[in-house]
Structure 1
Amino acid sequence: MPTKRALLIGAVETTRIAFEAIARHPAWDIAALVTLDPALAARHSDFVDLGPAARREGCPIIHVDNINREEALAAIRDAGADMAFVMGWSQICGAAFRALFPDRVVGYHPAALPRLRGRAAIPWTILQQEPITAGTLFWIDEGTDTGDIVDQQFFHVAPDETAASLYAKHMQALAVMLDRTLERMAAGEMPRMAQDKDCATWAARRTPTDGLIDWRQPAGDVLRLIRATGHPYPGAFTRSNGADLVIWSATSSDMGGRHAALPGQVVARSADGFTILCGQRTAIDVTQWGGPEKPPKLHAILGE
């Protein structure tokens, strides 16, 4: 079986999973790793420096900030790859890039395409209360997450799912899919299943400011936002004494109906955390936070 040469593009944990899968498959070599210079790590909240792993494998590294620039395209062309795998890269693959690998660019999307095409699929999966999702390998075309499906791995979304736990499930799904997909492609198969456009939904871009907590919302909605925007993302936050207070972990509290207070007001404190009143006379117990070292004062109103 002739060896196939893969170009891998990305700079996050998804890329690491793909790098390891390609590197361990006997029928595949990594022609080059296209990634961000570590100096640009801030572009991804979940950035992974794959330089050390690439050097251990003797894999050429191409540092780019935009794969669609002419100098990047020239370096990619010179790598001599048979196929491209775009795993964890935030830019659209332009026509000039795709022309280097006609119908041979595979991407990964952390949702059950055609559901949640677009950005921030993991947070939106939790916010939309999707009961089942999937990781999807697909052929990248001129659209956004619209190409034919290569493979999908479905799994349930737990009622208390966090961004971190869902992210981990996606990494497991990706590893499983890549092992079987690389094997199929090495044997000459190129799986393609058209997406059902009538079932498509779209996920909008999210920014760190979308994690701002509205304390007028009931506790369930506040907790969902906390779970959806936590690690490896910037987190849900509020204002406390002029500073951002990021809430990383919280649970539902039974104290809401027992306090006359305003939404966002701290109604209890302990050595381990504090309780905040939410809308509809509900409340949450905050157990892990970032920013101010000490819990906010009793009866402080957060968000102001």
Structure 2
Amino acid sequence: MKAVVIGAVGSTEVLVEELVAAPGWELTMIGTLPPELHGRHSDIVDLSVLAGRHGVRLAPIARTNDPQVLDMVRAEAPDYVFVVGWSQICGPEFLSIAAKGAIGYHPAPLPRLRGRAAIPWTILLDEPISASSLFWIAEGTDDGDILAQQYFHLARDETAQGLYDKHMAALRSMLRAVLPVLAAGEQPRQVQDERYATWATKRTQADGLIDWRQPASAIDRLIRAVGRPYPGAFTHVGGRRITVWSSRPVSGGERHHALPGQVMANGGGVLTVQTGEGLIELVDWEVAEGRPPALHAVLKG
């Protein structure tokens, strides 16, 4: 089977590694963002080394549905096009190119959490279970028939990086199971049940701003949801930006009285901060410039 891959992040890298190792598959082209557009994804992966190692053509693509991109993909005469780790909608003409179909991937238990920023939203919604989903791309948003799905549990203190890694492991496992099935000419499909569909909206870096009036548990959840490989939660003190990478709510913190955002303790590299409900410790953080906040400084967010 001839395949073309479109993507630019960690899931794309996993897909390429599995395709080049899978019997019965020939990966002829990888379409990815040019270097000047790498800022579109915080988890961007430079696929040039991987493509060079396996002798696969690497093509810079800015917009999926541009005529020159359509011509380029069409020239490969692929059986399948995999669009994995790519945040652009594929138009009808693009979807018609592959002889056997176009396959996508979404880090959520489709039909739940269709759309953008599925990993941060999973943590923000305090989901106890998630899943990785391979699906047949249709003209809607993540609404095509399911090809394969793998579920797993989330820890109560799940972080964006931990959840990201779980999805990569699940994707790799699914690909190892499904690529031989596709190569044999089979095409498993399960229609998504619209009764369970939900949609996740786009999140931007600005959405990581900490609101200290929120309870410590909610602030901790935000910090875990937007941490590495994403830009991180942040606050300000004295006009300086502080990025917070990890935290932990403090048991018994409700006995303290202070302004939300007020630093209650500063020692050993840990800031203890009053929230709208309880204390929180900022364990891993960095200040953009200058000295760390003084004791009793009030963080703004």
Smaller-chain TM-score bracket: over 0.9
Residue 198 of structure 2 corresponds to 201
Residue 287 of structure 1 corresponds to 283
Residue 23 of structure 2 corresponds to 26
Equivalent position amino acid for 1:225 in 2: L
Equivalent position amino acid for 2:174 in 1: M
Task: Give CA deviations for 1:162-184 in whole Å, capped at 9, x if unaligned.
Answer: 00000000000000001111010
Alpha-carbon distance between aligned partners in 1 of 2:295 and 2:69, rounded to the nearest angstrom:
55
Task: Give CA deviations for 1:240-285 in whole Å, capped at 9, x if unaligned.
Answer: 11022111011112363343210000011102211000012x0111
Alpha-carbon distance between aligned partners in 1 of 2:51 and 2:72, rounded to the nearest angstrom:
17
Alpha-carbon distance between aligned partners in 1 of 2:252 and 2:122, rounded to the nearest angstrom:
29
Alpha-carbon contact 1:111-1:133 (below 8 Å) kept: yes
Q: CA RMSD in A?
A: 1.2
Alpha-carbon distance between aligned partners in 1 of 2:147 and 2:25, rounded to the nearest angstrom:
18
Residue 238 of structure 1 corresponds to 235
Alpha-carbon distance between aligned partners in 2 of 1:141 and 1:118, rounded to the nearest angstrom:
14
Equivalent position amino acid for 1:18 in 2: L
**Local SS of the residue matching 1:100:** coil
Which stretches of structure 1, 4 residues or longer, exceed 6 Å deviation after superposition? none
**Which of 116, 139, 143 is the equivalent residue of 1:146?**
143
Q: How does 1:226-265 map to 2 (within 5 A)?
A: 226-254=223-251, 256-265=253-262
Task: Give CA deviations for 1:179-223 in whole Å, capped at 9, x if unaligned.
Answer: 111010011110100000001111111011111111111100000
Q: TM-score, normalised by structure 2?
A: 0.97
Alpha-carbon distance between aligned partners in 2 of 1:295 and 1:286, rounded to the nearest angstrom:
12
Stretches of structure 2 lacking an aligned partner (at least 5 in a row): none
Task: Give CA deviations for 1:99-132 in whole Å, capped at 9, x if unaligned.
Answer: 2126600000000000001100000101111111
State yes or no: 1:171 paired with 2:153. no
**Local SS of the residue matching 2:246:** strand
State yes or no: 1:36 paired with 2:27. no
Residue 123 of structure 2 corresponds to 126
Q: TM-score, normalised by structure 1?
A: 0.96
Alpha-carbon distance between aligned partners in 2 of 1:38 and 1:29, rounded to the nearest angstrom:
26
Task: Give CA deviations for 1:125-182 in whole Å, capped at 9, x if unaligned.
Answer: 0111111110000000010000000000000011000000000000000000011110
Stretches of structure 1 lacking an aligned partner (at least 5 in a row): none
Residue 216 of structure 1 corresponds to 213
Alpha-carbon contact 1:131-1:156 (below 8 Å) kept: yes
Q: 1:73 deviation in Å? A: 0.8
State yes or no: 1:137 paired with 2:134. yes
**Which of 74, 78, 89 is the equivalent residue of 1:77?**
74
Instruction: Return 294-303 or 188-197, whichever deviates more.
Output: 294-303
Alpha-carbon contact 2:23-2:180 (below 8 Å) kept: no
**Local SS of the residue matching 1:68:** coil
Residue 301 of structure 1 corresponds to 298
Alpha-carbon distance between aligned partners in 1 of 2:268 and 2:148, rounded to the nearest angstrom:
49
Residue 191 of structure 1 corresponds to 188
Equivalent position amino acid for 1:288 in 2: D
Residue 60 of structure 1 corresponds to 57
Alpha-carbon distance between aligned partners in 2 of 1:16 and 1:254, rounded to the nearest angstrom:
41
Identity, in percent, stands at: 50
